[in-house]
Amino acid sequence: MKNTCVYHLCVSCKKGLMFRGRQDYIRFINNMALLAYKYHIRILAFAVMSNHYHIGIMTDDFEQFFRSLKVSYSNYYFRKYGVSLPRTSGFVQEAIGNLHIVTLIAYILRNPVHHGIVGHPFAYPYSSAGCYFSYNGSLYSIGHAPIIKRVTTTAPNEYKSNSDREGMIDPMTFVDFRMTETLFTSSGRLMYFLSRYSGPKWEQEQQKEDSSVKPITLQIIERQGTDIEACMKNEKGHSSLLIPDQLLCEWIDGKAVPHYGPTSFAQLDWEQRTEIAKALRSRWKVSEEQAERCLYFRAKTTAGPSGTDGNPAHDE
């Protein structure tokens, strides 16, 4: 039997951002969809954040898919911004057993909540949260009432694919939502896992299922250096929501950069970046760390990522 192993793929950058504007998210999600089709990968869940992403997949071989996904987006980023993608790091972990797998999926879908971007998973536009139990005739839906109403625009072409008005492929066409629904067995169980608080009980349940497998926890799912305490506060609604990096970057790239003359944020000099950072803190009251993150770029070196200065970045 093929595609029987479940893996969690995560890539993040400590400095700067991987995704600045909506079109960056769209390009990455579309690449993921096309590569999943090419390499016969079953996408169970995903969440794409400004400086990292999580993908839950079912496959027997993730390496070609993972490498191609990183390289294709790095090359797109270089062509668009004229600078290499910020240095990234990644990891892969396998999930074994139903409780381990559904916990992994739940943490992936809850990621935007943990980072204080939205109050609940269904409000985030760049994840697969809205794909499950959300259509008429769903095997486990209650009657014909979906959990979340979905509005899509069909863009017919020779492949009869669906996309929205900005070209993003509808996740319902490439996410294996039926497999994920089968793993959760009911919409109620999915909602329970998406709304329950993180804590020792999750670990105890997984240990009871299989004590030989390390439990899936928030600390394991999140990238190294993440403030776990802040994530816990965010999931309980004890913190105010942050202004998304996307909003700040779209203002920088659409308003501030043209004002100074360059064609890309990477061409701003130190004085210009300092002025823009002050404007961000004054206009939106953002932290200095967030302002710097939105203005950071990886400086060119004598030898670029692929051996010569200025060449597209490859996975690292």
Please provide the DSSP assignment of 17-78 as one string: -S--SHHHHHHHHHHHHHHHHHTT-EEEEEEE-SSEEEEEEEES--HHHHHHHHHHHHHHHH
| Percent of the chain whose pLDDT exceeds 70 | 83
Mean pLDDT across 172-192: 95
**Model pLDDT, residue 165:** 66
pLDDT digits (tens, 9 = 90+) for 273-291: 999 999 999 999 999 999 9
> What is the DSSP-derived secondary structure letter of residue 120?
S
- Model confidence at 140, pLDDT cuts 50, 70, 90, reads very low
Pairing assessment for the beta strands 42-48 and 5-13 based on DSSP bridges: unpaired
Q: Where are the alpha helices (DSSP H) in the chain?
A: 22-38, 63-81, 98-114, 177-184, 187-195, 200-209, 218-221, 228-235, 245-251, 257-260, 270-284, 288-295
**Model pLDDT, residue 190:** 96
Mean pLDDT across 29-33: 97
**SS3 (DSSP) at 6:** strand
**Model pLDDT, residue 224:** 72
Is the pLDDT score of 35 beyond 80?
yes
pLDDT digits (tens, 9 = 90+) for 122-136: 999 999 999 999 865
| Nearby residues of 316 by Cβ (< 8 Å), 6 or more positions away | 87, 88, 89, 305
Cα-flanking dihedrals φ and ψ of residue 241, to 5°?
-70, 145
**Model pLDDT, residue 290:** 94
13-17, 27-31, 225-229: segment of lowest average pLDDT: 225-229
- Domains, the chain, in order of start with CATH, read 5-235 (3.30.70.1290)
**Model pLDDT, residue 263:** 93
33-42, 110-119, 221-230: segment of lowest average pLDDT: 221-230
244 CB-side CA count, 13 A: 20
Is the pLDDT score of 11 beyond 70?
yes
**Model pLDDT, residue 272:** 95
**Model pLDDT, residue 126:** 97
Nearest to 187 by CA among 235, 150, 148: 148
Cα 249 from Cα 261, distance rounded (Å): 16
Mean pLDDT across 57-66: 96
**pTM of the entire structure?**
0.86
- Mean pLDDT (the chain) is 86
**Model pLDDT, residue 153:** 34
Asked if 206 contacts 213 with a C-beta cutoff of 8 angstroms, the reply is: yes
Mean pLDDT across 214-238: 88
- Model confidence at 242, pLDDT cuts 50, 70, 90, reads confident
CB atoms within 10 A of CB 197: 9
Is the pLDDT score of 185 beyond 60?
yes
